[in-house]
């Protein structure tokens, strides 16, 4: 049976792909949106737009428009001002189902067995839900998130964007005690990259979705080329979906991971206890390797299935 998930996202080029991928391999009960790559109004419209293009009727609930304590931070360099810069933007003819993502998460988890939360943006909505309704933690099948890094960050030398943008929320999630917490951090996602051949393959397919995603990838890869001199761009967010749907394609290492919320140089750093013989009990399955070629085939096949 397909896993039941709530996808909590801030589309975002890679979030858009995660939405499309998830609908081919999961029972997506709902999509919740959060301020992150772009302001909430954009990330919400972007989620609706991706659903519209894909012909998906999944309810979309808008959530937090700012982190718990810090001012909102966005990622226009990677995703543009709209969060989905690149291809022509179709006219949106959909609206949200609700504007209380946190209430939706709580209600769904309380009334549905074995739900996975899959957060692929800043963790504000998930943290608010856990804080308001701690009872949901033990009802969850698990949390599979894209966030953090065991090695270098991408916003600062120590921090990855989703955790850096709302470190207090990330700290609540990592400390929640949820029985299964899977982490797809930068060490993993940088093994899973889109290159020109992937773009060409999508561009050769008929249909609005492959064409739109090819346009997204063009913009996204150009940014990585310019900023970092890379010829392939990490496709972060689909990894958190794959960690639920195809865990056999990933390798995990159990670790105790916590989040630095205040450090001048280390705010938003995910700190993994890697001491040999440590007595810190693991709270997290850190994904450390991915079968990138098999996983990329799955993603491309999912995108082409919308043709
Ligand atoms: C994460 O930050 C965002 O820019 C991406 O969508 C991804 O979720 C990578 O650091
Ligand atoms: Ca994201």
CA of 179 to the centre of ligand 2 (A): 23
Nearest CA to ligand 1 atom 2: 161
Identify which of 288, 68, 64 has the alpha carbon closest to the alpha carbon of residue 170: 68
CA of 201 to the centre of ligand 2 (A): 24
Q: What is the DSSP string of 186-208?
A: HHHHTTSEE-HHHHHHHHTS-SH
Active site residue 246: no
Around ligand 1, the residues with Cβ closer than 6 Å are: 12, 14-15, 37, 75, 78, 120-121, 146, 154, 160-162, 236-237
Nearest CA to ligand 1 atom 6: 12
Q: Residue 218: give the domain boundaries.
A: 4-305
Task: Return the best residue to mutate from 16, 75, 153, 224 for the ligand 1 pocket (most ligand atoms within 8 A of CB).
Answer: 75
Q: How far is CA 61 from CA 24, 66, 67, 96, 124, in A?
A: 20, 15, 17, 6, 14
For the chain, counts of helices (H) and of strands (E):
12, 11
Task: Please give the angle made by the CA atoms of 152, 245 and 237, to the nearest 5 degrees.
Answer: 35
- The CA distance from 70 to 144, in Å, is 24
The SS3 assignment for 29 reads: strand
Q: Give the count of domains, the chain.
A: 1
The one-digit pLDDT tens for each residue of the chain (307 residues) are 999 999 999 999 999 999 999 999 999 999 999 999 999 999 999 999 999 999 999 999 999 999 999 999 999 999 999 999 999 999 999 999 999 999 999 999 999 999 999 999 999 999 999 999 999 999 999 999 999 999 999 999 999 999 999 999 999 999 999 999 999 999 999 999 999 999 999 999 999 999 999 999 999 999 999 999 999 999 999 999 999 999 999 999 999 999 999 999 999 999 999 999 999 999 999 999 999 999 999 999 999 999 8
**Nearest ligand 1 atom to alpha carbon 79:** 4
CATH number for the domain spanning 46: value is 3.90.245.10
**Nearest ligand 1 atom to alpha carbon 75:** 4
Q: How far is CA 165 from CA 68, 128, 209, 270, in A?
A: 10, 15, 29, 13
Q: Of 168, 236, 246, 256, which one is the catalytic site residue?
A: 236
């Amino acid at each position: 049976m397909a896993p039941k998930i709530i996808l909590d996202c801030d589309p975002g080029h890679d979030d858009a792909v995660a939405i499309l991928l998830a609908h081919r391999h999961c029972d997506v009960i709902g999509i919740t949106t959060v301020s992150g790559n772009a302001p909430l109004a954009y990330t919400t419209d972007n989620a609706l737009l991706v659903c519209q293009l894909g012909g998906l009727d999944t309810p979309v609930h808008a959530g937090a428009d700012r982190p718990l304590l810090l001012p909102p931070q966005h990622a226009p360099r990677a995703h543009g001002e709209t969060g989905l810069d690149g291809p022509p933007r179709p006219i949106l003819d959909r609206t949200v189902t609700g504007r209380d993502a946190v209430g939706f998460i709580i209600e769904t988890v309380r009334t549905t067995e074995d739900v996975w939360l899959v957060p692929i943006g800043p963790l504000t909505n998930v943290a608010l839900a856990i804080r308001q309704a701690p009872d949901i933690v033990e009802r969850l099948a698990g949390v599979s998130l894209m966030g953090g890094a065991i090695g270098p960050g991408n916003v600062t030398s120590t921090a990855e964007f989703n955790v850096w943008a709302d470190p207090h929320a990330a700290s609540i999630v990592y400390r929640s005690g949820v029985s299964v917490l899977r982490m797809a951090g930068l060490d993993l996602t940088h093994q899973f990259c889109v290159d020109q051949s992937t773009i060409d393959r999508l561009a050769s397919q008929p249909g609005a979705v492959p064409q739109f995603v090819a346009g997204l990838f063009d913009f996204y890869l150009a940014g990585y080329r310019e900023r970092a001199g890379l010829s392939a761009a990490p496709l972060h967010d689909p990894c958190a979906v794959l960690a639920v749907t195809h865990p056999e394609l990933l390798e995990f290492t159990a670790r105790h991971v916590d989040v630095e919320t205040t450090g001048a140089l280390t705010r938003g750093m995910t700190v993994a206890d890697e001491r040999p013989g440590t007595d810190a009990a693991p709270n997290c399955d850190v994904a450390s390797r991915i079968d990138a070629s098999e996983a990329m085939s799955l993603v491309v096949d999912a995108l082409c299935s919308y043709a």
